[in-house]
Amino acid sequence: MHARQGGDVTHENRRPLKTARLGITATGAALAIVLGVMGGRAISAQDRYTVQVPNGLGFAEFKGYEDWQTVAVSQSGDLIEVILGNPAMIEAYRAGAPGNGKPFPDGAKMAKIHWNAKKSAEAPSPTTVPDTLHDIDFMVRDSKRFAATGNWGYAQFNYDAASDAFAPEGTGADCGYTCHTIVAKKDFVFTAYPKR
């Protein structure tokens, strides 16, 4: 026997069909998640913004880096690199830093994205293009936090394609300082802002 109660069709001693449909939908969603995981790939990837170098910088300090402006590109061995700057960094570059004798301001940030290189299969002439992501390096200028390392903090996050996850390299915020002392007279920044 069917009866209507509040718009739901019910059977005697059974729950409303609307509730039953919701249960079926939830079960289907749970099944899709299980199948996705069983298929070898988790449904949700790692939240990169939770990764942090022990006793150092966190990925979250550079949120939005994907939208920063390109400073320059470079190639080192088998890696292709693009160097990005946040708005404070770009504004300082455009004002002439570091060649104008002024340091970059506190809050200036850079990101360097490294990809493994490969030859393009489509380009009409031999062209090297990015392949898989290798790692991402970050720098942030903060004269209070990083006075001992030329006012810059550094971080490197290595990428593992198999797990689609980042892992911090080393500990602390001084991992790049030793290399960057070579360009201490350029406020510890290797990359120039080329004419465009």
Question: Where in the chain are the domains?
Answer: 2-38, 48-186
Residue 58: the pLDDT is 96
Q: Could you tell me the pTM of the whole model?
A: 0.75
Domain spanning 48-186, CATH architecture = 3-Layer(bba) Sandwich (3.50)
- Distances from the Cα of 111 to the Cαs of 14, 121, 122, 127, 135, in angstroms? 59, 28, 29, 24, 10
Residue 37: the pLDDT is 47
Residue 46: the pLDDT is 83
Residue 45: the pLDDT is 74
Segments in the chain below pLDDT 70: 1-44
Span 150-194, pLDDT tens digits: 999 999 999 999 999 999 999 999 989 999 999 999 999 999 999
